């Protein structure tokens, strides 16, 4: 757990360094990759919701562990590097929805990203226990951390 949290912090702390070292990445590629990360997480969030929250699909521990591991791995991947300066506009798989305010509030972004990373790692830890109540609670916190950023920094 300590290792996971260290990774989470890294994702935020290395934002500026990664942005510099990846300065050659095209803006549209950065936007495409970040959209890919969010879309792939949403598929895996959907699996957890269907099995553990809604009960629409029978609970399968291995599938939920795998889904939570995806969300944690994506959260820990240093996606800050996919928000280079100038990427407040542009199209990856589709036009970006990020608000310009995102790039003017990096301390707030870092705080929200840290909350998301913590929640994602706690979801992975809960999934590994197989305790559906704990998974449901941790899933809720991940959802809240997503929403907190969307509300502030994603256009409707």
The nearer residue to its own copies, 32 or 149, going by C-beta atoms, is: 32
Does 40 help bind its own copies (rule: CB under 8 A)?
yes
- Of the candidates 4, 2, 19, the residue with the CA atom closest to the CA atom of residue 109: 19
The nearer residue to its own copies, 70 or 149, going by C-beta atoms, is: 70
Residue 91 to residue 28: CA distance in whole angstroms: 6
What does residue 104 show for φ and ψ, rounded to 5 degrees?
A: -105, 5
- Of the candidates 89, 86, 105, 107, the residue with the CA atom closest to the CA atom of residue 97: 89
Q: What is the DSSP letter of 65?
A: H
Decide: helix, strand or coil at residue 64: helix
What tokens does 46 get?
């959907």
Does 39 help bind its own copies (rule: CB under 8 A)?
yes
Smallest separation, CB 90 to its own copies (Å): 15
Smallest separation, CB 20 to its own copies (Å): 10
- Sole binder of its own copies in the list 10, 106, 137, 148 (CB under 8 A): 10
Instruction: Using CB under 8 A, list all residues that contact its own copies.
Output: 6-7, 10-11, 14, 18, 21, 32-33, 35-37, 39-40, 42-44, 57-58, 60, 62-63, 65-67, 69-70, 72-74, 76-78, 82, 93-94
């Amino acid at each position: 757990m300590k290792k996971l949290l260290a990774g989470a912090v890294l994702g935020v702390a290395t934002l500026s360094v990664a942005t510099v070292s990846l300065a050659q990445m095209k803006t549209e590629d950065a936007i495409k990759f970040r959209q890919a990360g969010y879309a792939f997480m949403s598929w895996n969030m959907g699996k957890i919701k269907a099995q553990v929250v809604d009960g629409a699909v029978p609970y399968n521990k291995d599938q939920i562990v795998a889904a939570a591991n995806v969300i944690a791995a994506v959260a820990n991947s240093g996606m800050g590097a996919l928000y280079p300066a100038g990427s407040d506009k542009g199209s990856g798989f589709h036009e970006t929805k990020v608000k310009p305010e995102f790039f003017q509030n990096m301390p707030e972004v870092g705080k929200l990203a840290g909350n998301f990373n913590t929640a994602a790692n706690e979801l992975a830890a809960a999934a590994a226990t197989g305790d559906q109540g704990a998974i449901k609670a941790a899933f809720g916190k991940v959802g809240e951390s997503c929403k907190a950023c969307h509300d502030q920094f994603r256009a409707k």
